[in-house]
Amino acid sequence: AQKITQTQPGMFVQEKEAVTLDCTYDTSDPSYGLFWYKQPSSGEMIFLIYQGSYDQQNATEGRYSLNFQKARKSANLVISASQLGDSAMYFCAMRSTGFQKLVFGTGTRLLVSP
Amino acid sequence: SQTIHQWPATLVQPVGSPLSLECTVEGTSNPNLYWYRQAAGRGLQLLFYSVGIGQISSEVPQNLSASRPQDRQFILSSKKLLLSDSGFYLCAWEPGSYNEQFFGPGTRLTVL
């Protein structure tokens, strides 16, 4: 069975600083994908970044990067130069290749202060 | 570009009443479609998914059902709502060949 663990219920960071949101996963499947989503207070889920299990390089999308450590089964999200608009819930998720089910973690609430 | 719509945005229903939530996708064809529920302060729970018209897979046995009468339309229903059905319902779609799922704006359901 697949499982995603996000151990940080809440994180605080000052504007313009970098922050790392932790995510560990558990799966026995050799091929899988890892995702991060942002959920602002409005409720919509916004896709941020994707990392495939066979990707050699860490994924990056603008200020977002994914620190993928396969041996440790971790897929931490790094947000550089935090902005006030980054305040939101952040969810880590995974799915095995070829399967429909996307498994989500419980989320981390990030608050960015001026 | 692709767009996903959900309605209504909010809904307050009494226990025992029926439910119908609708999700439609524009700008794509033959998408995979998903219904998720999010309880307050929790992660997302997959309820149903569909890979084609009339094809529904259920992840959690409960008093909810789903239907896909058209390629880009996905409906979540219930004959009799329970208090435990309260939550935030999100519809999502994905192109068949990609991995990311893209979510709609959600419906906030309160059952009283």
Contacts of B18 (CB under 8 A, 6+ apart): B77, B78, B79, B80, B81
Q: Tell me the pLDDT tens digit for each residue of B72-110.
A: 999 999 999 999 999 999 999 998 766 789 999 999 999
C-alpha count within 13 angstroms, C-beta hemisphere, residue A24? 7
pLDDT at A19: 98
**Cα–Cα distance between A35 and A105 in angstroms, integer?**
11
Q: Tell me the pLDDT tens digit for each residue of A70-82.
A: 999 999 999 999 9
A29 contacts chain B (CB < 8 A) = no
pLDDT at B62: 79
Q: Tell me the pLDDT tens digit for each residue of B21-45.
A: 999 999 988 999 999 999 877 789 9
The maximal CA–CA distance of chain A, rounded, in angstroms, is 43
CB contact residues (below 8 A), chain A span 79-108, against chain B: 91, 95, 100-102, 104-107
pLDDT at B1: 78
Inter-chain contact B108–A44, Cβ cutoff 8 Å? no
Q: What average pLDDT does range A25-47 have in this prediction? A: 93
Torsion of CA A13, A15, A17, A20, to 10 degrees: 40
Inter-chain contact B43–A105, Cβ cutoff 8 Å? yes
Min Cα distance B73 → chain A (Å) is: 18
Q: What average pLDDT does range A16-38 have in this prediction? A: 95
Q: Where are the beta strands (DSSP E) in A10-87?
A: 10-14, 19-21, 24-26, 32-39, 46-52, 60-61, 64-69, 74-79
pLDDT at B61: 64
**Cα–Cα distance between B91 and B109 in angstroms, integer?**
13
Please name the residue of chain B whose CA is at the shortest distance from the CA of residue A100. B49
Q: What average pLDDT does range B3-20 have in this prediction? A: 96
